[in-house]
Structures are given as structure tokens and as C-alpha cells.
Structure 1
């Protein structure tokens, strides 16, 4: 009996020695500050990717990874507790959704599991600080350039905003749309988004908002149009035409028709435009 116990103890010690002799590591590959991803989330989302190294005790065993994610100690967080997420070696990333734009502590632990699901213990761990970012797309309603933080920017350009960060936006006028119309900031123009944010000022500021990840912010410029008004028939069957009037899309223009006129001895009264 003692001999059997001794053999079992030796096997156990050999198993522990084998585990301890291995070199294991896990590391976050994107660095400490990771931008919100993927942008399909309507909340702040972080995709935290990682790599690992180490040899399993048996080829059929599985690496599993646990992410602990939350605020630094002493600061209130999303749920009042540090949240935990699990994944395995086939999906080497974590998608963390819904956190505010503040610095969080990210800790990843690496575990080895048997093929039957038994946890053989932690093999490696790493920690880092992570700041959730909001991804914002900026452009104009006709595909032209806009100004962001003082720089001319093409429509569709994305920006990652962290805690307390904002974008200084300015519409750029006198660009042509695809049909050749000149585009300007009109009385009904505004900055709008596919969320709830909007502003009627040509020069506006957009602040980071953790509930609007993936927002598209658009400068709604208006077309400059040339309008000609025709009047009643004049002598000889000709019409009276006004000089083309420049008008901005969405902005009313005031036109007054003559109450009564006469042509070829026929009185003509205003009916309608």
C-alpha cells in the first residue's frame, strides 16, 4: 500500500514538475489603448486581441482564456463589479460592450483544460489599462469635404474619441455636387447624425458619447439654384421673363405678380403661379 502511494506521489510530482518546466505567456497585442471595434455596435465596444505561447500537456487539451475588465479600484463602474468574459484558442479576442469612456483595467488569464473539460489551472496572465474609444464618421450630404479640427477632411473619414475628447466641425461651402450644383450653408442647413445629435451652427463641436459608437455625422449643405419667373403674354404672343434669380435650396424667395395688366387690349388678372 505504501509502495502504491509512493508511486502515485512520484507521478503527481512529475506532473507538477512538467507543468512548472513549461514556459507560458499571454499578451495583449493591440497595446494599452484600443479603439472601439467593431463599429456595428451602437454602444462603445472594444475588441481586445491577444496572443499566447506554451505547450499543452496533451495535444487534445484546450487553452481557455478569462478576461477581467473593470475600472481601477475605488471608482464606480458599469455594474458595480469587475465583469468576466471567457473565450478559447479558436477565438483569440474579447468584445467588451457598453463601458463608459474612462480608463479600465484589463487582465487576461490563460488556463489549460482537458478534453473532458477539467480545469488544470492557470498557466499565465497579463494586465493592462484600456481606454474605450468611440468611433465617429464625418462627411457631407453630397460627398464633399468638411473641416475637422481645422483640417480639410474627406467624407467618410473616421475618428476615435476617448474620454473628454471632441471634434471641432466646420462645413466647407462652394463645392460642387455630382450634378454640378454649388453647395452652400443655407438657412435650413444643419449638422446631423444617425443618432440623436444635431446642430444648426455651421461651426459646431461634437463630444465623445459612449452610447453613440459608430455615429455618422453629416453636414447638410444646400444647392444654389437659378430660378426664372415668367409673366403674362405680351403683345405679339411673347412672354415676359424675369432675370434669373439666385436662390438657395430650402430658403424661401418672395415674388410679387402684377395684380392686373393689359396686352393687345385684353385685360389680364393674376390667377396663380
Structure 2
């Protein structure tokens, strides 16, 4: 903020507002008064901040970790605080976190100067649990009513708009992700007008949806029976609107 004679440094792929991108983590650490961590837990981010990185930080800087407990080497951070190199820290995540109230919690960061330790319970509050319940239930209803799987973590993600025509149905198929399945399915659908077709895969599972225009001569039951009989089939159903 120019009014206070300070500026923010971010390690970004794209500029955000007036933030200045840093060329490296080392440059960011050397130029920042406050370092706030918000990264996922991956092999690349494990021990992202160790004694080396803490030593590279400005003397009197502050470290905030609100990401994952394995991102920061806790003993190294404790040493940086107790030596006076860092002015303070706020930590919400730990390599091993308490599971319940009353459970003894021990950490090298306890009794470190100017340090705030919080219990990482934001997702366990009554409001958060209520919101999560609504989100999960809404996603399940959308899958049952439309076949949409957007937001799934272990299944192919397909975002679908509802079918508005009374003359259309949606065939939903889950199958093993191997070559030749679409050829077999489309052969069974060859007599239908396919309005839209989407197929996505994740690992060894593939997810196919096909919106079909139906008429009095369309035998949807026969199509579903044919697709279900394929050896690669896992599940097939029809969504009617």
C-alpha cells in the first residue's frame, strides 16, 4: 500500500491487481515482511519452508501457515522464532493435529514468542458442516436428476445442462476406459438423432452421456439393454426430464 510506504510481493503465474510477481521463492522471502502460505499438500510442497527458507526471510518478518501441516518444518520455525530472526508466526495446521477437545496437544511451537496457534477446526464448525451437507446433497440430486458430476474427486467430471425438450432423454453410461467402447455405443444409437454427446475419463473409468431425440419408434429400453450387455459396461441408466 503506497500510503504506508509498503508493497505486496506474490509468487504468481499471473499478476493480480497491483501485486508484484516474484521471480522465485527466495526473492519473495527476502522482500516480504509477512509471508502467508496457502498451498495444497503435494510432494512438491512438503517441507517447502525449512531452516534454509526461514534464514532467507527478512529479520523481523512474520510467517503465517494456513495451508497444510507438512508445508513448514515445525522445529525449524520454532528455532527461527526463539532465535529472534522471525518476529512472530500464526499457524493453523500441523503435521499431527488433535482429534477432539481435551486431547493433549504438544508442539515445538508452544511457548514460542509472539506465536498464535489455532486448532484448524474451520471445517468442523456447525455452520461449515451444515454447508457441506447441503453441498453434498445438492450434488447428489443433480447427478440423479441430470447426470452431472461436476466437483467429483474420484470420478470423471462432466457438466451438463438440463434437457428442456419433452422429446429428449439422456442415456448415462459408466464403463471401463478401454478402446472401442464409443464405437459400440454409437452403433446402438445409430438410428437415433444424437443431440449432444459427452465422454470423459479418469483413470480406468469413463463416463458417457448422450442426449437423444426420441419418437414413437424409439425403443429406449432396447438401447439401454444393448449398452448394458456390453462387457465394458459398469452401469447404464436413462434420465428423463
**TM-score with structure 1 setting the length:** 0.24
**TM-score with structure 2 setting the length:** 0.26
Greater strand fraction, Structure 1 or Structure 2 = 1
Larger Rg belongs to: 1
Greater helix fraction, Structure 1 or Structure 2 = 2
